Chain A
Amino acid sequence: MSDAAAPAPTPQTPETTATPSSATASQASVAEIFLAFLLIGATSFGGGAVAYLRSTLVAKKQWLDDKTFLELYSISQSLPGLNTTNMAILAGDRLCGWMGAAAAVLGVVLPGALLMTLAAIAYGMHGERPIVTSALHGVAAGATGLIFATFIQLASKSLRGWIDLVFIAAAVLLVNRLHVSVLYVLIALAVVGTIIYRPGSRAAQSEAA
C-alpha cells in the first residue's frame, strides 16, 4: 500500500441540508461527489488509484465503510472497464444514484483526459525532438518495470494454485505467441474459469476453505 501521497485529512464541515439516503447512508451531493473525484483524478499519479480512492471515500469522507469498499472493488475487477472508473461509477451510484455515478466518473477522468489531449498536441509539434524521444523511452522503460511489478503484486495476492498458473500461461501463449484476438481469449478463459470454479466444484470449495 502506497498511501504516502494521500493528502492530510481536513476537517469536513457537515452538510446540514443533506437528506440521508438508504443503504450505506451517505451525505454526499452530486457536486460534492464530482469535486471529490476531480481531486482524485488530478492527484493520483503512477497508477494504482485504489489507495487514493480508499483514503478519500473511506477514511476522509467516510462515504463508504471498508467492507462496502472492498465489495465494490471486487465487482469492479470482474467487469470490463478500468478499476478506477468502475470504482467511481459503483461508488457514485451508491452515494447518489446514476447522477452520482456520472459525476464521479467525469471527475476522475477529466483532469488526465484534458492533460493527455494537450500532451498529444505538444507531441505533434515536438515529438520528433531527440530530447523528447529519449525522455519518453526512459519513461517507457520505467513503465514496463512498473507494469510487471504490479502484475507480480496482484499475482502474489490472488493466485490460488496451479489452475490459475495454467490460465496465465494460456493467455500469454494465445495472445503473444499465437496472436489470437484478446476478445476470444477473454471469452474462452472467462467461460472455462467460471466452469472450473462452478458452485460445488472442488476448486471453488478449496477456495472457500
Chain B
Amino acid sequence: MNQIPSLVAVFAYLSLLTVGGGMAAYPEMETLTVDVHHWVTSQQLVHFYSLGQMAPGPNMNMVAAIGEKVAGPLGALAVLLAFYAPTGLLTLLVGRIWTRLAAWPWRTSIQQGMSPAALGLMLAGALTFGKSSLEFSKPTGQMIEFNLIEAVVAVAILLLVLRTKLNPALLILACGVVGVFAHL
C-alpha cells in the first residue's frame, strides 16, 4: 500500500506543533509513527533522533529517516516537504505582517504568552524522549526498564553542557564511544 499520503499528512501536522523547537512535537511524533501507523518502534525513533543529533543542521532532519524507512528515498523527500513547506510558508507570510504590526499591543502579548507554552512543550518532549531512550530491550530480547549507565551518561552530559564550554557535538560523539564500550 502506498504510504506516502499518510506520511505527508502526519508530518505536515507534526510540523505545526514545533513551536519553539522540534522537541515540542516529539510526544505526538511517537504516538503517530509508533502506536498509530507502526512505521517505526519507539527504539528506532530514538535511534533516528540520535542519528539526527550527529548530522549537521537541524536535528529534526531525522524525519527524513522515517520517510526513507517507510517508502524509500521518495518517502524521505515527501516527508521533508511536508515537514518544512507548510510552516515555511506560514513563517514567510507572518514574518512580513509581523514587522508591520510593531505598534499593535497584542503582538507583544502573543510573544509573551507563547514563550512559556513553548518551554512547557519542550520539557514535555524532553521527558518523552528521555523515557524512551532510557528504557529499551537488549539485543538478547530481555527488556530493561531503566538503564543506570545511560542515566549516568545523560546527567554527566547535562552537567558538562551547563558547566563547561566543551563542544556539545564532541560530547555527543564521545557518548557513542561510551555506549560501544559499555555495551549499552
A→B interface (CB under 8 Å): 2, 4-5, 40-49, 71-72, 74-86, 89-90, 93, 98, 101, 105, 108-109, 111-113, 115-117, 119-121, 123-124, 127-128, 130-131, 133-155, 158-160, 163-164, 167-172, 174-176, 181-183, 185-186, 189-201, 203-204, 207
> Which of A4, A84, A127 is within 8 Å of B58, CB to CB?
A84
Asked if B65 and A119 make an inter-chain contact with CB atoms under 8 angstroms apart, the answer reads yes
- State which residues 110-164 of B face A: CB under 8 Å: 110-130, 133-134, 136, 139, 147, 149-151, 153-162
Q: How far is the CA of A49 from the CA of B183 in the complex (A)?
A: 31
Query: Lowest 9 CB-CB distances: which A-B pairs, in order?
Result: A138-B179, A171-B120, A193-B113, A145-B157, A142-B175, A112-B57, A46-B169, A81-B87, A199-B105
A93 x B129 contact (CB < 8 A) = no
Task: Say yes or no: B69 contacts A149, CB within 8 Å.
Answer: no
Please determine whether A182 and B27 come into contact, CB atoms closer than 8 angstroms: yes
One of B20, B25, B123, B179 near A172 (C-beta < 8 A): B123
Which A residues are CB-close (under 8 A) to B109? 194-195, 197-199, 201, 204
Cβ of B65 and Cβ of A123 under 8 Å apart? Answer: yes
- Taking Cβ atoms with an 8 Å cutoff, the residues of B that contact A are 13, 15-25, 27-28, 31, 44, 46-69, 73, 76, 80, 84, 87-88, 90-92, 94-96, 98-99, 105-106, 108-130, 133-134, 136, 139, 147, 149-151, 153-162, 165, 167-180, 182-184
Whether the Cβ atoms of A145 and B15 lie closer than 8 Å is: no
Assess the A113–B113 pair: CB atoms within 8 A.
no
How far is the CB of B72 from the nearest CB of chain A, in Å?
9
B125 proximity list for chain A (CB < 8 A) = 147, 175
CA distance A116 to B179 in the complex (A): 21
Minimum C-beta distance from A100 to chain B (A): 10
Instruction: Tell me, in angstroms, the Cα distance from A82 to B58 when the chains sit together.
Output: 8
Given contacts A146-B171, A194-B113, contact A90 B134 (CB under 8 A): no
Q: Are B76 and A113 in contact (CB under 8 A)?
A: yes
A-B pair count, CB < 8 Å, reads 400
Q: How far is the CB of B63 from chain A (nearest CB, A)?
A: 8
**24 residue pairs bridging A and B, Cβ less than 8 Å apart:** A44-B57, A79-B91, A82-B22, A115-B55, A116-B51, A116-B68, A120-B68, A134-B180, A136-B50, A138-B175, A138-B179, A138-B184, A139-B172, A141-B175, A142-B171, A146-B172, A148-B126, A149-B162, A158-B119, A185-B124, A190-B110, A193-B112, A198-B106, A199-B106
| A182-B24, A198-B109 given; A45·B169 CB < 8 A | yes
Contact A141–B56 (Cβ < 8 Å): no
Measured CB to CB, the nearest residue on chain B to A90 is B95
For A45, the chain B residues whose CB sits under 8 A away are 54, 56, 167-169
List B contacts of A192 (CB < 8 A). Answer: 113
Complex: how many Å from CA A116 to CA B53?
A: 10
User: Whole-angstrom distance from the CB of A46 to the nearest CB of chain B?
Assistant: 3
- Bound-state CA distance A147–B122 (Å) is 9
B157 with A149: CB separation less than 8 A: yes
- CB-contact partner of A144 in B47, B122, B133, under 8 A: B133
**Complex CA distance for A135 and B156, rounded to whole angstroms:** 17
| Cross-chain contact A5 with B167 (CB below 8 angstroms) | yes
Of the residues B54, B91, B96, B116, contact of A168 by C-beta under 8 Å: B116
Residues on B with beta carbons closer than 8 Å to the beta carbon of A171: 117, 119-121, 123-124
Output the nearest chain B residue to A128 by Cβ-Cβ distance.
B139
